[in-house]
Chains A and B, each alone.
Chain A
Amino acid sequence: MRVRTQINSYAMKRKRSINQNIQHRLLPDFRNMGTVLRIVLLVNAVALFLALAQAASPNELWQQMLFGSALLQPVLLCTLLALYVLNPALARLAYWQAALLIVAVVALLTFALTHLGGELFAGTDEYGWFGDLRRLLQSAIIALLLLGYFRWRTLVLSPAQADARLQALQARIRPHFLFNSINAVLAIVRSEPKRAEAALEDMADLFRMAMNDAHELVALKDEFALAQRYLALEQLRMGERLQVRWHTANMPDDALIPPLVLQPLLENAVYHGIEPLAAGGVIEVRLYAADKRLHLEVRNPLSGTAAQTGGNHIALANIRERLSLLFDVEAEYRVERSAERYGVHIIIPYLKQEAP
């Protein structure tokens, strides 16, 4: 019963987030540090290019840059501020509407700041109305170029995203795990049919999740429940050898994370950490929020041989790629490795679920 209600709530949450996610793919998230950095760098690169085109001597170049910057930097700053504020509204609009609005905001800010600045920009204002038109066109073109860049970036990266998804799909349902689990369930079908039923239900949930769209964010607590189901299946096979220590006292209930980040980490820990050890071992999992960021830590023991070969980390490379596609520079991925322990520490922005 409990299982069914959870799945239903999954479906509802997913429907709600679909529209937002598609928007996010074409329009950058203006509250993301990576996006802001890219905009600042690119706008200044364009300014440098223009200055280079006009300057005939190093001195002139310097002057041109300084001249341009006097207007450029305030406009840039105000635009970034405006976009930060407008970000949720932009996400709700259609792409072309949002793009139009952004260009309008940029043009308006350019116009307003030029005139507010008064004397400060007078030196550049030699042509009267043409000066205004020129600046408006310049800023609109730069805004369109940037929008084009972000659109291009997601379009170029989206095959990678799709590919990563496929690979992740393959990696997270390791055939090894699938067939061994079926084999274990078959072993208890006759003697413990109730336990076999529960195991098959866990398996169904796990695979349903694995086949979901990887672009949607899911509730951390659902991902946590899924991870527990996965571990119950592994425990069926490995019994006492697999022990898990959860530290979830500070796990926020409303946090959202990309799906199947936690489970592949655990699968990796089981496959490379516990299975090669005859006596088994302990996997430690920490889920907590700190400084408005969400931390996921998974640590497992390393056997001598695994420490030497380093193991196959396709699944982990995959998580890393997905996180950087979703969160740009705001996602951190750390590997902590010693002679006998291996740990992955993921830090992502703490996104909250909207109240239903």
Chain B
Amino acid sequence: MNDTFTLPLTVFVVDDEPLARRRLKELLDDCRAQIELEVTGEAGNGQEALDKLGETPAEVVLLDIRMPQMDGLELAQHLNKLEHPPVIIFTTAYDAYAIQAFERRAIDYLLKPIRLGRLFEALTRARDAVPIRTEVLQELMPEARSHLSVHERGRIILVPIEEVIYLRAEMKYVTVRTAQREYLIEESLTALEKEYAARFVRTHRSCLAAKAAVAGFEKGGDEGESGWLLKLHGLDERLPISRRQWSGVKMLGETREQGA
């Protein structure tokens, strides 16, 4: 029990603005008089944060909500996949929507400009806190995630969703296919279909294809299927289309042709 008090609290700072990071580090420095802590690092974007935290885990991450490319709410979900998920304290200058949501769910946040006293309070509380559940974070996100996060050799890699050509369920994994390569993620295809309804179309019980990648159709396929295969932009592979999904997929192909 004494251990937690002798070991310094490790803190990591994520913000896209260099001055905002500088300010936080100054304040963390000021906190040292009252709480033993160590700033293990800082990052200006999502991938950098995942890389650095994968190498040297921190107990607490101070995370800005509004950042380019990937916001803090999404990054928090990816951080949860780390071996030692950190406790997250969100920081924000002004975000009425997020603040209301946080208060309802008792998630800690700091308003910029951040006060020393408030930061100290949050850090003290963070010692005993547990990471925010991924489902809760998902609820808070108004839109779908911009990236999928993949575990690979102890690292977490972010795959931009617009690069994904198809998603295919295999046993307990889902294969994520981009023009360059394949990744495996542990998520359910049904949940992905729901999250990205605007971007992907179901072609088969086990397959979601990016609508933008649909190039056309080709005769073929096994029995029990529709007798058609889906051709894709940027890939030579063909995807099976089931009889059940054929009408929906076909319509997509037709509207695309009309639009072109």
Query: Is B162 located at the chain interface by the 8 A CB criterion?
Result: yes
CB distance from B26 to the nearest CB of A (A): 7
A188 and B18 alpha carbons, distance in the complex (Å) = 11
Choose one: A175, A180, A303; the contact of B17 (CB below 8 Å).
A180
Are B146 and A179 closer than 8 Å at their CB atoms? no
Are B20 and A187 closer than 8 Å at their CB atoms? yes
A190 and B20 alpha carbons, distance in the complex (Å) = 14
Are A183 and B113 also in contact (CB < 8 A) when A276-B68, A277-B68, A278-B68 are? yes
| Chain B window 13-51, contacts with chain A (Cβ cutoff 8 Å), 1 for yes, 0 for no | 000111110110010000000000000000001000000
Query: Is A239 located at the chain interface by the 8 A CB criterion?
Result: yes
List which B61-76 residues lie within 8 A (CB) of chain A: 66, 68-69
Are A186 and B18 closer than 8 Å at their CB atoms? no
Are B93 and A175 closer than 8 Å at their CB atoms? yes
A184 and B114 alpha carbons, distance in the complex (Å) = 11
| Chain A window 105-137, contacts with chain B (Cβ cutoff 8 Å), 1 for yes, 0 for no | 000000000000000000000000000000000
Query: Is B173 located at the chain interface by the 8 A CB criterion?
Result: no
CB distance from B225 to the nearest CB of A (A): 34
Which chain B residues lie closer than 8 Å to A63 at the CB level?
none
Choose one: B22, B23, B68, B162; the contact of A275 (CB below 8 Å).
B68
A180 and B15 alpha carbons, distance in the complex (Å) = 12
Choose one: B22, B93, B162; the contact of A187 (CB below 8 Å).
B22
Query: Is B256 located at the chain interface by the 8 A CB criterion?
Result: no
Q: Which of chain B's residues has its CB closest to A191's CB?
A: B22
A276 and B26 alpha carbons, distance in the complex (Å) = 26
Query: Is A182 located at the chain interface by the 8 A CB criterion?
Result: yes
A210 and B11 alpha carbons, distance in the complex (Å) = 39
Which chain B residues lie closer than 8 Å to A275 at the CB level?
66, 68
A341 and B162 alpha carbons, distance in the complex (Å) = 20
Are A175 and B94 also in contact (CB < 8 A) when A180-B112, A305-B146 are? yes
Q: Which of chain B's residues has its CB closest to A239's CB?
A: B18
Are A188 and B94 also in contact (CB < 8 A) when A179-B111, A277-B68 are? no
Are A183 and B23 closer than 8 Å at their CB atoms? yes
Are B94 and A179 closer than 8 Å at their CB atoms? yes
Mostly, the B contact residues are loop
Are B111 and A236 closer than 8 Å at their CB atoms? no
A186 and B146 alpha carbons, distance in the complex (Å) = 32
Choose one: A176, A182, A277, A278; the contact of B113 (CB below 8 Å).
A182
CB distance from A268 to the nearest CB of B (A): 16
A191 and B94 alpha carbons, distance in the complex (Å) = 26
A277 and B22 alpha carbons, distance in the complex (Å) = 21
CB distance from A182 to the nearest CB of B (A): 5
Which chain A residues lie closer than 8 Å to B23 at the CB level?
183-184, 186-187
Which chain A residues lie closer than 8 Å to B22 at the CB level?
187-188, 191
Are A304 and B162 closer than 8 Å at their CB atoms? yes
List which B115-155 residues lie within 8 A (CB) of chain A: 146
Query: Is A237 located at the chain interface by the 8 A CB criterion?
Result: yes
List which A300-323 residues lie within 8 A (CB) of chain B: 303-305
Query: Is A251 located at the chain interface by the 8 A CB criterion?
Result: no
Are A186 and B93 also in contact (CB < 8 A) when A180-B17, A276-B68 are? no
Are A183 and B114 closer than 8 Å at their CB atoms? yes
| Chain A window 156-179, contacts with chain B (Cβ cutoff 8 Å), 1 for yes, 0 for no | 000000000000000000111011
A9 and B236 alpha carbons, distance in the complex (Å) = 69
Are A303 and B68 closer than 8 Å at their CB atoms? yes
Query: Is A43 located at the chain interface by the 8 A CB criterion?
Result: no
CB distance from A306 to the nearest CB of B (A): 10
Q: Which of chain B's residues has its CB closest to A303's CB?
A: B68
Are A190 and B26 closer than 8 Å at their CB atoms? yes
Q: Which of chain A's residues has its CB closest to B23's CB?
A: A187
Which chain B residues lie closer than 8 Å to A190 at the CB level?
26
Are A183 and B68 also in contact (CB < 8 A) when A188-B19, A238-B17 are? no
Are A180 and B68 closer than 8 Å at their CB atoms? no
A276 and B66 alpha carbons, distance in the complex (Å) = 9
Are A180 and B18 also in contact (CB < 8 A) when A186-B23, A186-B113, A278-B69 are? no
Q: Which of chain B's residues has its CB closest to A279's CB?
A: B68
Chain A residues in contact with chain B, CB under 8 A? 174-176, 178-180, 182-184, 186-188, 190-191, 236-239, 275-278, 303-305
Contacts A186-B113, A278-B68, A278-B69 supplied; 5 other A-B pairs, CB < 8 Å = A183-B23, A183-B112, A183-B114, A184-B17, A187-B20
Q: Which 5 A-B pairs have the closest CB atoms?
A: A187-B23, A179-B93, A175-B94, A187-B19, A183-B112
Q: Can you list 5 A-B pairs, Cβ within 8 angstroms, ordered by A? A: A183-B113, A187-B23, A276-B68, A276-B69, A278-B45
